[in-house]
């Protein structure tokens, strides 16, 4: 029994060291809103909502890891102590009230503890502050059309750059576009999403923005944030027609 405890502790320690090293390596090379090689975690967050999502994700990851390790240890103990060779005369016990209550109540408590921050985060996401800027994003078959509805008839198309030679150094392959949507820094932006030919979903992972019809996000700093089909750039001022 002591040997298994030491082996389990050693395995957990090794996994923790490896996970921490890889996470530090990825974080060091990460760029805002862009994927990185060997990325294991979520993208670097750019909004308070995404900060909360990353924190909640990390907590759940550790909870799942601990539950998995606990079940693995139990299976190992059962396989070693209660096989036919080690335990030739098995017990005739069929019920254990205390054990049955424990394995029913404990999971319920765990789920309730997870539900509390989960609902808090959900309400935080749904609480939309007044928008400083409204942008209409029209999803077309292979590109997006952006319309700054608060700034007259300013509208333009955003098409993916397929020629790698035309990409800027800060533009990732298959994510960079010719005309990026520019939004002000530290302002709340409402995005109205619609589709011209087919249904589209507008997503900016670093901002925790993923809308089918309407949503809001903030750009807290300069830089580019990419979704799967269009670029979003945060600057000092809005583009003018």
pLDDT on residue 131: 83
- Are 171 and 225 part of one and the same domain? yes
pLDDT on residue 78: 87
- Are 153 and 223 part of one and the same domain? yes
- Are 8 and 72 part of one and the same domain? yes
User: Of 42, 61, 92, which one is at a domain's C-terminal end?
Assistant: 92
- Are 230 and 144 part of one and the same domain? yes
Task: Give the total number of structural domains in the chain.
Answer: 2
30 within some domain = yes
How far is Cα of residue 27 from the mean position of the Cα atoms in its chain? 14
Per-residue CA distances from 66 to 24, 121, 166 (Å): 21, 23, 48
pLDDT < 70 positions in the chain? 1-35, 210-241
Q: pLDDT of 184-239, one tens digit each?
A: 888 888 888 888 877 777 777 777 776 554 455 555 554 445 444 444 444 333 33
114 within some domain = no
The enclosing domain of 149 has a CATH number of: 2.60.40.420
Its domain, for residue 216, covers 133-235
> What DSSP designation does 54 have?
H
User: Of 92, 123, 146, which one is at a domain's C-terminal end?
Assistant: 92
52 within some domain = yes
- Are 139 and 53 part of one and the same domain? no
pLDDT on residue 241: 31
- Are 72 and 166 part of one and the same domain? no
184 within some domain = yes
Sort strands 188-195 and 133-139 into parallel, antiparallel or unpaired. Answer: parallel
164 within some domain = yes
Record the tokens describing residue 199, joined without a space.
């249904």
DSSP per-residue codes, 20-46: HHHHHHHHHH--TTS--TT--SPPPP-
**Residues 148, 145: Cα–Cα separation, whole Å:** 10
49 within some domain = yes
- Are 138 and 231 part of one and the same domain? yes
pLDDT on residue 28: 40
- Are 149 and 81 part of one and the same domain? no
User: Of 92, 111, 143, which one is at a domain's C-terminal end?
Assistant: 92
């Amino acid at each position: 029994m002591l040997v298994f405890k030491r082996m389990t502790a050693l395995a957990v320690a090794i996994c923790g060291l490896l996970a921490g090293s890889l996470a530090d390596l990825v974080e060091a090379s990460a760029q805002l809103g862009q994927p990185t090689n060997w990325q294991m975690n979520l993208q670097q967050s750019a909004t308070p909502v995404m900060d909360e999502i990353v924190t909640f994700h990390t907590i759940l990851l550790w909870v799942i890891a601990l539950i998995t390790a606990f079940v693995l240890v139990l299976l190992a103990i059962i396989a070693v102590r209660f096989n036919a060779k080690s335990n030739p005369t098995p017990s005739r016990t069929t019920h254990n009230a205390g054990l049955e209550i424990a394995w029913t109540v404990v999971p319920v408590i765990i789920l309730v503890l997870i539900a509390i921050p989960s609902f808090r985060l959900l309400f935080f996401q749904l609480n939309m502050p007044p928008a400083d800027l409204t942008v209409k994003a029209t999803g077309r078959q292979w590109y997006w059309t952006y319309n700054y509805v608060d700034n007259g008839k300013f509208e333009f198309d955003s098409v993916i750059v397929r020629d790698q030679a035309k990409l800027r150094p800060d533009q990732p392959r298959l994510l960079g576009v010719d005309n990026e949507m520019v939004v002000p820094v530290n302002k709340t932006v409402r995005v109205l999403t619609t589709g011209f030919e087919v249904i589209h979903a507008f997503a900016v992972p670093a901002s925790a923005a993923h809308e089918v019809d309407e949503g809001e996000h903030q750009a807290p700093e300069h830089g580019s944030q990419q979704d799967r089909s269009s670029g979003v750039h945060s600057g000092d001022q809005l583009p003018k027609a």
